[in-house]
Amino acid sequence: MEERKPKRYLPVLILLAVFAMLTVALIGQNFWLGSKKADGESVSILEKDSFESAAQGQQNLDQRLECLYLWDSREENSQILHEQMPQILRDMKVDFQEIDVSRQEIPSLEGFEKAILGYGDYAKTRDEIVGLSDWVSEGGQLLIALVPEGRGVTEWLLGKAGVESIGGAYYTTTGLRLQDELLLGGVKSEYEISAPFESSMTVVLDDECQISVTSNDESELPLLWQRSFHDGKYVVVNLGIYEKGYRGIYAAAYSMLGETCVWPVVNGSAFYIDDFPSPVPDGENPYIAEDYGMNTEDFYTQVWWQDISSMAEKYGIRFSGMVVETYSGETQGPFPPAPDSQTFSYFGNSLLTLGGEIGLHGYNHLPLRIAGTRKEEAMDGSLWPDAAQMQASLKELISFCEDLFPGNEFQVYAPPANILSEEGRSLIAEEFPQIRAIAGVYQGDETMYTQEYEVAEDGLIETPRILSGYLLDSASDLYAMSELNLHYVSSHYQHPYDLLTAETGGEAGWEEAYRRLCGYADWLESAALGLRKLTASEMAGAVQRFYYVDVERELTEEGLTLTLSNFQDEAWFMARFNDWEPDISEGAVSGGTIEHLQGNLYLIKAEEAEVTVKKKVEA
């Protein structure tokens, strides 16, 4: 049974008094924060030509490759995993060779340190599976990333990976429970799977397996474990879900292979407010009126913005507001400036005072896309007639922002409704050089502008948002947890408008929405120590450095040396030390710093192009 939350009916007098107090408090806070510098230094966006072209996990056949990735284009699950796995490896800057076993011979394993088994029907490649097992005995490191099928050779190989028995039916895993410190997110924390299905093998493991993740029910079905085998190691992911939102689990599983695993990360958390500042809706909204007994404008000013401001102060969040100038559906110029510039000025300056940033969402809320020649399309009022009108509207938005917030740069664009056509995108790239980054979404349907953390060929930086909205729950937390473990990044956007509509927050109410937002911020504080709090532009600068940097890892008697290319002023790396502990005492790391996150996971900041980490010498 859901608990009904108490309604808040505040008498008008108390309300006025509270508003007066808040106004005084806000003025005081502006003075205080105005003189306070944000934590740490800011991450600027560098000029496009600062970097040489990125060398992302290229296949370099002259040298020994780190990893062999096997998949089978005939299998549906193998294809689905193949949509993610190469991108995970590229982002981790792993030199790998992929082999589609349906049409390519598996090369000699001798040249590889690690391998990923990314298909499920082992019977087709019986000899090769036996070869893989021999290779593991001799020191090979194998990740079984895809839930296999069948008996015979499958059971035989899984037996080496610690499986004592496999049940006849597949298991519906409804959620994850983290059992140790492998994954960032909190030991014993739980994450719900939004659309569970029979995805996992029902397995019983022997005592030598180290289980890191199980199902979150009583049976605690093993979902991720490792097991040594002679000189080598098996890591098994028994999840059977291969979507983008689960990438971090596969990245973490991969990082368990080998002596150490070091990969570049973004290291940043950003919170965006889309449609803010924007014209505040007139009159009353039934949900707001019922809960707060006030009109929408008063609610925005006296409740919502006050709470967001406290959140910014409490957690050090630097909100980025993405401006919409008008909600008129005008697609034909001239585009007049918004009349109520006072509202924009009040909210915008208040946001800037809190250490936030102003970005661009649109002159109006129409996505940048042009009507085609088809008659019904040309009549569609939500489409622009041509590029010139789109350009004129964006120009007006930028000059409006420049007038209201002089001295600020408006460098990040968030596409309205997360829709951005190719024409719209090239308009931005060609005509608006001051826009350096696009903040779309990480996951979404094919109508949406979905992105990777990368820099596009035209130099625009892609800074996807992972979470959105006011109704954050345990299923969305899973995506957040996943991305902490791959890119060490968090990104969320809210739309104050969502509080005015039943299913996006109106029904639940702001009190509940705010509780969830703060709950997420609390979780982030505990799960990701030292995660940098960034504005939209700083996130873009961080993605730029993450994307371009490449790393060569060299293991030595004393420890580990990282040699970076495309290094600018700083770069961040996640490092897992599987076989030894690094020395984290003052000055032990040259060329940078190291910080312990949890378990055998560390965060390295490179300050020079060569970083040396020493093994800890036992006293």
Q: How many CA atoms lie within 13 A of 588 on its CB side?
A: 17
Nearer of residues 274 and 291 to Zn ion, judged by Cβ: 274
Distance of alpha carbon 217 from alpha carbon 237, whole angstroms: 18
Scanning 272-280, 282-290, 462-470, 519-527 for contacts with Zn ion by CB under 5 A, the matching segment is 272-280
Nearest of 58, 93, 57, 71 to residue 486 by alpha carbon? 93
CB of 498 to Zn ion, least distance (A): 10
- The 3-state DSSP class for residue 455 equals strand
**Of 512-531, which residues contact Zn ion (CB under 5 A)?**
none
Nearer of residues 237 and 324 to Zn ion, judged by Cβ: 324
- State yes or no: residue 498 binds Zn ion (CB under 5 A): no
Nearer of residues 66 and 275 to Zn ion, judged by Cβ: 275
CB of 365 to Zn ion, least distance (A): 6
- State yes or no: residue 325 binds Zn ion (CB under 5 A): no
Instruction: Specify whether the CB–CB gap between 184 and 481 falls below 8 A.
Output: yes
CB of 414 to Zn ion, least distance (A): 7
- State yes or no: residue 477 binds Zn ion (CB under 5 A): no
CB of 415 to Zn ion, least distance (A): 9
Nearer of residues 72 and 274 to Zn ion, judged by Cβ: 274
Scanning 48-56, 163-171, 274-282, 588-596 for contacts with Zn ion by CB under 5 A, the matching segment is 274-282
Nearer of residues 80 and 448 to Zn ion, judged by Cβ: 448
The H or E element that residue 202 is part of is strand 198-205
Q: Which residues, in sequence order, are CB contacts of 312 under 8 Å at separation 6+?
A: 318, 319, 354, 355, 356
- State yes or no: residue 274 binds Zn ion (CB under 5 A): yes
**β-strand 357-362 against 592-598: which pairing, if any?**
unpaired
CB of 330 to Zn ion, least distance (A): 17
Nearer of residues 162 and 321 to Zn ion, judged by Cβ: 321
| DSSP-assigned letter for residue 396 | H
Distance of alpha carbon 562 from alpha carbon 540, whole angstroms: 24
Q: Is residue 151 exposed (0-12), middle (13-18) or buried (19+ Cβ within 10 Å)? A: exposed
Instruction: Specify whether the CB–CB gap between 64 and 109 falls below 8 A.
Output: no
What is the DSSP code string of 477-513? HHHHHHHHHHT-EEEEEE-GGGGGSIIIIITT-HHHH
**Of 392-431, which residues contact Zn ion (CB under 5 A)?**
none
Scanning 32-40, 130-138, 147-155, 270-278 for contacts with Zn ion by CB under 5 A, the matching segment is 270-278
Paired strand residues for 210: 226
Site string for Zn ion, 218-257 (x = CB under 5 A): ----------------------------------------
Name the residue with tokens 């009108």: 389
| DSSP-assigned letter for residue 409 | -
CB of 231 to Zn ion, least distance (A): 56
User: Is the Cα dihedral 161, 165, 168, 169 positive or negative?
Assistant: negative
Q: Is residue 507 exposed (0-12), middle (13-18) or buried (19+ Cβ within 10 Å)? A: exposed
Scanning 28-36, 234-242, 267-275, 541-549 for contacts with Zn ion by CB under 5 A, the matching segment is 267-275
Count of residues near Zn ion by CB under 5 A: 2
CB of 493 to Zn ion, least distance (A): 9
Distance of alpha carbon 379 from alpha carbon 376, whole angstroms: 5
Nearer of residues 162 and 362 to Zn ion, judged by Cβ: 362
- State yes or no: residue 275 binds Zn ion (CB under 5 A): yes
Nearer of residues 274 and 483 to Zn ion, judged by Cβ: 274
Nearer of residues 271 and 577 to Zn ion, judged by Cβ: 271
Residues of this chain that bind Zn ion (CB under 5 A): 274-275
